[in-house]
């Protein structure tokens, strides 16, 4: 089974962004990071993809909007994240 495409919009010093990336790193998931520090055009584009949400991080798996850091950790607690990311639990 192929690895999903994971994308995350971040700000470089955002603690929630750092936590979300840490979870993805622990699961050894490759992801594309879009650091949008102060770039309002990029934030607008992210917000359009994220159903109007403007907070960071915003995470997408195979173009499906997952949400932010809390949403990512909630999926992990529910045991749904590993299947979504096609990884074995660590």
Task: Give the CATH number of the domain where residue 36 resides.
Answer: 3.40.30.10
pLDDT > 70? residue 5: yes
Does any domain span residue 67?
A: yes
What domain range is 43 assigned to? 6-85
Instruction: Provide the pairing of β-strand 6-10 with 32-35.
Output: parallel
Rounded to an integer, the average pLDDT of 34-54 is 97
Does any domain span residue 57?
A: yes
Does any domain span residue 90?
A: no
Of 79, 67, 76, residue with least CA distance to 24: 76
Number of domains in the chain: 1
Which tokens belong to 33? 């990071």
How many H helices and E strands in the chain? 4, 4
pTM of the model: 0.94
Structure confidence at residue 88 (pLDDT): 79
Does any domain span residue 31?
A: yes
């Amino acid at each position: 089974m192929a690895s999903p495409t994971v994308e995350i919009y971040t700000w470089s010093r955002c603690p929630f962004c750092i936590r979300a990336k840490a979870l993805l790193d622990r699961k050894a998931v490759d992801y594309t990071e879009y650091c949008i520090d102060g770039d309002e055009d990029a934030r607008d584009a992210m917000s359009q993809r994220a159903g109007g949400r403007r907070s960071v991080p915003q995470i997408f798996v195979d173009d499906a909007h997952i949400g932010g850091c809390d949403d990512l950790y909630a999926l992990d607690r529910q045991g749904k994240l590993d299947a979504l990311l096609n990884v074995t639990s660590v």
